[in-house]
Structure 1
Amino acid sequence: MGMTVGFDLDMTLIDPRPGMTAVMNVLGEEAGLALDGEYFAAHLGPPLDQVLREFGAPEDRIPALVARFRELYPEIVIPSTIALPGAHAALEAVRRAGGQTLVVTGKFGPNAERHVKALGFEVDVLVGELWADGKAAALREHRALAYAGDHLGDIRGALAAGVTPIGVATGPCAREELTAAGAEVVFDSLEEFPGWLSASGVRASVR
């Protein structure tokens, strides 16, 4: 089988921040809770239930809040989300090299699929609701050789899977943080990915 390269979604392939701000603020208004959409959008990565706990949401209300967030999401977030620079080109570079593209995200799977469809991404496999070290299971299952992400949790997942960790400094984590966490290479954006892939020889690695 040819190579598989994995990518995170939020702030790696897509920028959903305006919609994320809006949907969290709407959820807070509906629920009568102090949910800070701006803070949420600036720190995308951790699972939604964890974020809600950090905002002080009562534990017994979290399942209903998560369900409502997911219900509001398609109408509010999908239309305002854009592809980050180099996202389409990075996916295409893997395909041109004879590889398979894999998206592993902490996002609710059906909403992740809506983003992929809306933005016309050519993705071979999408796995949702995995975060940090938990992403390693999907990376191992699909025999990935590398995984690109913007968050320290993405680097942890790649390292846990034993694949090449690629940092992309388009999210909340600085280049220095990604490097310190173990990223073997850090890009300012995915615009740098095709050149790296071509020069790295990863295309010749098969399992």
Structure 2
Amino acid sequence: MGIVVGFDLDMTLIDPRPGMVAVMNALGEEAGLPLDGEHFAANLGPPLDHVLRDFGAPEDRINGLVDRFRRLYPEIVVPETVALPGAHESLAAVHEAGGRTVVVTGKYGPNAELHVKALGLAVDVLVGELWSDGKAVALREHGASVYAGDHLGDVRGALAAGAVPVGVTTGPCGRKELLDAGAEVVFASLDEFPAWLSRRPLSGARAPAR
């Protein structure tokens, strides 16, 4: 069986930041809350309910705000989102090696699927609403031996699943942070991923014990 490679979505495969600024600001204006779209977009990764709590949203409004964000999202964020450098090429490299691609993201699944379809990303399996160590559930289920992401939470998820953690600095975390968290290798973008993958064995690519 060929290799299974997992990828994060936001700031790994796609750049949704302009739309994220707009949707969070729109939600804040509508709800009468001080929600900072620029800060949100610069620190993508944590689940939305965590973000809203950090902005000081009242606990009894969190569920409603999450639902409203998800309804606003398709028209505001999806049209403004672009694929990051190397995204299409990295997915293609996995398929050319006879493997499968799995996207595991903290994003709401239906909205993540809209991005995949809009940008024509060659994704075999998409799993949403998993964050940090929780991503290991899907990575193990689908047999991923490599997981690439931009956030410390992605590294933790890969390690928890026994997959090789690959970091990219297209998101909020720097090279040293990702390496210190346990990433085996860190790239400036996914442009570097296909060549790295071509040098690896196509099976048994599990992360070493740490």
TM range (shorter): over 0.9
With structure 2 as the length reference, what TM-score do the two structures score?
0.96
Letter of the 2:154 counterpart: D
Give the aligned length: 206
Instruction: List alignment gaps of at least 5 residues for structure 2.
Output: none
Distance in 2, matches of 1:20 and 1:116, equals 16
Contact 2:163 2:205 in 1 (8 A): no
Contact 1:151 1:171 in 2 (8 A): yes
Question: Is 1:29 paired with 2:29?
Answer: yes
Which residue number corresponds to residue 114 of structure 1? 114
Distance in 1, matches of 2:163 and 2:8, equals 14
Which residue number corresponds to residue 68 of structure 2? 68
Which residue number corresponds to residue 77 of structure 2? 77
Contact 1:2 1:206 in 2 (8 A): no
Which residue number corresponds to residue 196 of structure 1? 196
Shift of 1:3: 1.2
Which residue number corresponds to residue 135 of structure 1? 135
Letter of the 1:4 counterpart: V
Shift of 1:67: 0.3
Contact 1:14 1:81 in 2 (8 A): yes
1:57-93 alpha-carbon deviations (Å, 9 max, x no partner): 0000000000000000000000000000000000000
| Percentage of matched positions with identical amino acids | 75
Contact 1:47 1:131 in 2 (8 A): yes
Distance in 2, matches of 1:130 and 1:188, equals 24
Show the 5 A alignment for 1:8-19.
Answer: 8-19=8-19
Question: Is 1:95 paired with 2:95?
Answer: yes
Shift of 1:147: 0.1
Query: Per the alignment, in what secondary structure is the counterpart of residue 2 of structure 2?
Result: coil
Distance in 1, matches of 2:35 and 2:48, equals 12
Query: Per the alignment, in what secondary structure is the counterpart of residue 106 of structure 2?
Result: coil
Distance in 1, matches of 2:204 and 2:125, equals 19
Shift of 1:2: 1.6
With structure 1 as the length reference, what TM-score do the two structures score?
0.98
Contact 2:103 2:126 in 1 (8 A): yes
1:106-153 alpha-carbon deviations (Å, 9 max, x no partner): 000000000000000010000000000000000000010100000000
Distance in 2, matches of 1:129 and 1:199, equals 32
Distance in 2, matches of 1:101 and 1:116, equals 12
Query: Per the alignment, in what secondary structure is the counterpart of residue 145 of structure 2?
Result: strand
Distance in 1, matches of 2:15 and 2:203, equals 31
Contact 2:86 2:192 in 1 (8 A): yes
Which residue number corresponds to residue 174 of structure 2? 174
Query: Per the alignment, in what secondary structure is the counterpart of residue 186 of structure 2?
Result: strand
Letter of the 2:163 counterpart: V
Instruction: List alignment gaps of at least 5 residues for structure 1.
Output: none
Q: 1:133 to 1:58 in 2, by over 3 A?
A: same
Distance in 2, matches of 1:105 and 1:25, equals 22
Question: Is 1:5 paired with 2:5?
Answer: yes
Which residue number corresponds to residue 45 of structure 1? 45
1:16-40 alpha-carbon deviations (Å, 9 max, x no partner): 0000000000000000000000000
